[in-house]
């Protein structure tokens, strides 16, 4: 993990994978773990994110992160919010469920 990623996000030593997510038939295991990680990141309901950093953390492509975000957004679990006041990191994830 790079120092840039650590400054943006330090993973929690443990995450909770809720039963409704753990057994959801329409989510892949990657999407399930990704959502659990997002929930641990967004302790205040929203959090900044960078697709590059998340791709590096999960050892997947930026395209995979993009697909996971899109699917979770379409399913109503998250919403992407843009912060036009922050030039470094304009994207935020907002938890909906």
Q: pLDDT tens-digit profile of 49-58?
A: 888 888 988 8
pLDDT confidence of residue 8 = 57
Q: What is the pTM of this model?
A: 0.79
pLDDT at position 78, please? Answer: 94
User: For the chain, which residues make up each domain, given as ranges?
Assistant: 17-95
Q: Which two three-digit tokens encode residue 60? A: 């997947």
Query: Could you tell me the fold of the domain covering 17-95?
Result: Arc Repressor Mutant, subunit A (1.10.10)
Number of other CB atoms surrounding residue 88 within 10 Å = 8
What is the residue whose two structure tokens read 């993973």?
Answer: 11
Residue 47 or 72, more confident: 72
Query: What does DSSP say about strands 91-95 and 46-48: parallel, antiparallel, or unpaired?
Result: antiparallel
Q: Answer yes or no: are the C-beta atoms of 78 and 38 closer than 8 Å.
A: yes
Per-residue pLDDT of 58-82, as tens digits, reads 899 999 999 999 999 999 999 998 8
């Amino acid at each position: 993990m790079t120092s840039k990623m650590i400054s943006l996000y330090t993973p929690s030593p443990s995450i909770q994978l809720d039963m409704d997510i753990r057994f959801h038939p329409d989510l892949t295991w990657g999407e399930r773990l990704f959502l659990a990680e997002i929930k641990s990141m967004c302790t205040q309901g929203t959090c900044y994110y960078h697709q590059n950093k998340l791709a590096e953390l999960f050892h997947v492509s930026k395209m995979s992160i993009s697909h996971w975000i899109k699917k979770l957004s379409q399913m109503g679990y998250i919403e992407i919010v843009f912060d036009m006041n922050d030039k470094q990191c304009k994207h935020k994830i907002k938890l909906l469920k």
